[in-house]
Amino acid sequence: MDDDSDQEHLIQDDYYTFLNIPRNATQEEINYAYRRQSILYHPDKHVDPVLKKEAEVLFNRTKAAYKVLSNPHQRAIYDSVGVRGLQTEGWEIVERTKTPQEIREEYEYLAREAEERKLLRLTNPTTSVTMNINATDLFNQYDEDYEDRYMCYKVYCILKYSRDILSCIEVSGMSFTQSIEAPLTLQDIVTMYGHLSTRNGIGSGSVHVAVKRLLSSKGWVEMDVGAGNGPTISLKGFRLLPYKLMLNAATILEFTPNESKASLIGTLTMQLDTHTMGQLSYNAGSESSMSTAIVRSTPRTHMSCSIHLGILRSFVSFNYTYKMQEKEMKLRGSVKAGTVGVIVEYGAEKKISRHSRLSATVSAGVPTGVTLKIKLSRSFQTYAFPIHLSDEVLPATVFYATVVPLMTWMIVKKVVIDPMVKKREEHKKEKEREVNKTRMLEKQKEAESATKLMKATVSRIRAQEESKKGLIITKALYGRFVYPQEDLYNSEQQSIRRDEVIDVTIPLQCLVKDSKLILYDASKSELPGFYDPCVGEEKQLLIQYLFRNQTHECIVKDNAPIRIPLPSHRVNTT
């Protein structure tokens, strides 16, 4: 586990940035970049023994980058999975005559095979715990007294009922579900799961064993046998059909002490376009029903509209989710109306860590009343807490159900989550520095060697640019810049935080061609003559340059593309 974790933090070589070419570079652009770097770093170009030895290291790295990017097969592997893909065990069996697409598929097959071997040694437990909480007495008492008392008496009421809050809240029910997967072969999977629940002092439970067999990449079948109130047998299947159709079907037989029930369930799904799916479901049995739904999902939104017609209930529902990817958050809303009444729900889901998500949803409807649903999902575990607040839709209840979770979240985030995240980020940065300590010393030494090897070429380029009043890099710094306004309210850290930058004037001047400098959208730390002076920190590149004898200056983020000169960079010297 530690080895895998360290691999995630290791700095990987970026061949495109090292050659300063775009990721969609043509073979001609790759050849030109290779020739340009070879002129700089070829050992035969240097007489000094020390420089010759340093040039040999950089020339070998240039050859390694060119070898991968000029070979369509290796480039396909590198583009898909990076340097690790070139080192993946099993590539010796790959035929070198295959196309790039076949290479990607071969890598995916090898990756799946390795993952499946791991799954054969492990089980995948999933847990779901639901605790139903009844808090209707708390709000009903408050509302009754609120109508009968004067406003000045409200404080007394609140103090009085605060002593009885715990007595007004009861756990009305709980349910617990646990499942374990046990892969037998690459095609056969056994799943064992059980369910226990209790509500108002009455309990029930069941245990099931399901065996799934993968028939092909287009379908599977599953047999499920369970026991609880009586034996249950079900047969399920899935099949991909032509014309972008998918079919799910299930036959269920239930035997209870009083009766036997049989049902047939089928769902036909069709892909209407890239983001839209259409579904048609039919349930034939004691609770016969038919439903149809349209589901549309994009990177920003998720919408679904469904119509359900059944013997026991019929309804129409609409759901909408807005995905705030930059904040790792989702906002949800839904409306459901039919023979069961009308229910309106709204809520939010927030990612609070790498494997954890927290969501809160307010449900208000007739005749269900108002319910606050809180759910915490962590990896394969789910904890749900539906809190029933009132049997009627009361404005005060809806207000508290909305405001209290928001206020609680803000306090918890400020006091608990933010410090925890900050500490985790600091630990991550420290781990990156520790893992890459030796690597960074090599990178620093390599950058210093590259800068020395560039000096003769830079003198020639600079002389050419001066003669035509072209692009001359006067100063270039790369790394983390600490601005005074960042520490106005944190004087204690002013002595601790400092600039961590390196001078990259020579390496940038070396990349100037025909009075132009072009850098692509990738971390600049992989450019020749560069290295990362502050691993894990946000970095910027400051460039001061002359063009047509006029001073220019710009500062850009690490991964932002650069194209200079630009009129907007001109500095008003007056």
Domain annotation covers residue 85: yes
| pLDDT at res. 106 | 58
Of the candidates 95, 123, 139, which is a domain's last residue?
95
Domain annotation covers residue 333: no
User: Cβ contacts of residue 270 below 8 Å, gap of 6+?
Assistant: 243, 244, 245, 246, 277, 278, 279
Domain annotation covers residue 268: no
| pLDDT at res. 52 | 84
Q: Which of 109-123, 368-382, 430-444 has the lowest mean pLDDT?
A: 109-123
Mean pLDDT across 506-524:
91
> Is 144's pLDDT higher than 60?
no
Q: Would you state the structure tokens that stand for residue 151, as one six-digit string?
A: 């406003």
Write the DSSP symbol of residue 125. -
**Residue type for position 529:** G
Mean pLDDT across 518-530:
89
- What mean pLDDT value characterizes the chain? 82
**Residue type for position 480:** R
Domain annotation covers residue 413: no
Q: Is 529 left (phi over 0), alpha (psi -120 to 50) or beta?
A: left
| pLDDT at res. 247 | 93
Which residues on adjacent β-strands are paired with residue 344? 335, 364
Q: How many CB atoms lie within 10 A of CB 443?
A: 19
The C-alpha angle with vertex 241 and arms to 297 and 211, in degrees rounded to 5, equals: 90
Domain annotation covers residue 121: no
pLDDT-above-70 percentage for the chain: 81
The C-alpha angle with vertex 291 and arms to 362 and 221, in degrees rounded to 5, equals: 100
| pLDDT at res. 48 | 83
Most confident of 52-61, 314-323, 440-449, 498-507: 314-323
CB half-sphere exposure, 559, CA atoms < 13 A: 3
User: Cβ contacts of residue 341 below 8 Å, gap of 6+?
Assistant: 365, 366, 367, 368
Domain annotation covers residue 42: yes
User: Cβ contacts of residue 339 below 8 Å, gap of 6+?
Assistant: 313, 314, 315
pLDDT of 183-205, one tens digit each? Answer: 788 788 899 999 999 887 788 89
Domain annotation covers residue 249: no
Name the more confident of 440 and 400. Answer: 400
| pLDDT at res. 107 | 59
CB half-sphere exposure, 401, CA atoms < 13 A: 30
Cβ–Cβ < 8 Å for 482, 496: no
Q: Is the peptide bond prior to 565 cis by the omega test (within 30 degrees of 0)?
A: yes
Band (pLDDT 50/70/90 cuts) for residue 521 is confident
Q: Which domain holds residue 555?
A: 435-573
pLDDT of 1-50, one tens digit each? Answer: 444 444 444 556 788 888 889 888 899 999 998 998 888 888 888 878 88
Q: For residue 44, give the H/E element and its range.
A: none
| pLDDT at res. 96 | 43
> Is 147's pLDDT higher than 50?
no
Selection from 54, 58, 65, 55 nearest residue 31 by Cα: 65
Q: How many domains does the chain have?
A: 2
Cβ–Cβ < 8 Å for 296, 275: yes
Of the candidates 95, 124, 142, which is a domain's last residue?
95
Q: Which of 46-60, 99-113, 218-232, 324-338 has the lowest mean pLDDT?
A: 99-113
User: Cβ contacts of residue 51 below 8 Å, gap of 6+?
Assistant: 449, 452, 453
Domain annotation covers residue 25: yes
User: Cβ contacts of residue 173 below 8 Å, gap of 6+?
Assistant: 131, 132, 197, 198, 199, 200
> Is 319's pLDDT higher than 70?
yes
| pLDDT at res. 296 | 93
Of the candidates 66, 95, 124, which is a domain's last residue?
95
| pLDDT at res. 435 | 67
Name the more confident of 30 and 422. Answer: 30
Domain with residue 37: its CATH number is 1.10.287.110
